[in-house]
Amino acid sequence: MALYSEKVMDHFRNPRNVGVIEDADGIGEAGNPVCGDIMKIYLKIRDEVIEDVKFETFGCGSAIASSSMATEMIKGKALSEALALSNKAVAEALDGLPAHKMHCSVLAEEAIKKAVKDYYDKNGIAYDHAQFPDCEHCGSCESCGV
């Protein structure tokens, strides 16, 4: 059995939405100090809908695949839908990630939430702070199972 699914390999070899949005409405960055992966998400938002999304990721194949899949999953969606995206949904959409690579999907979820929070902060939009936990995924997080 292969370590990585065909979907992971496809999104790693042919990542979608790579790049920078120069005039992004929201930018979120997440990193994992243990493995060194860094992920940056850029959002272009119109009427509370993600009109465009790009990413830059420095990391392993799983991190790149997770970034690519996550951006595909939120493009064209309402901000509320993007905030509801979980790392587990990203991993499932990739047909699974090895347990020791689940932190990559966590980075995608975290970077998206930080980008939405950045948009809210820049525009003075009130939000529920409970939607944006301060967890930096130290390796013992319940939500990511790492």
The catalytic residue positions are 35, 104
> If you ran DSSP here, which 8-state letter would residue 78 be given?
B
Query: If we measure between CA atoms, which residue out of 74, 99, 70, 75 comes closest to residue 87?
Result: 70
Whether the CB-CB separation of 49 and 76 falls below 8 Å is answered with yes
CA pseudo-torsion sign 8, 10, 13, 18:
negative
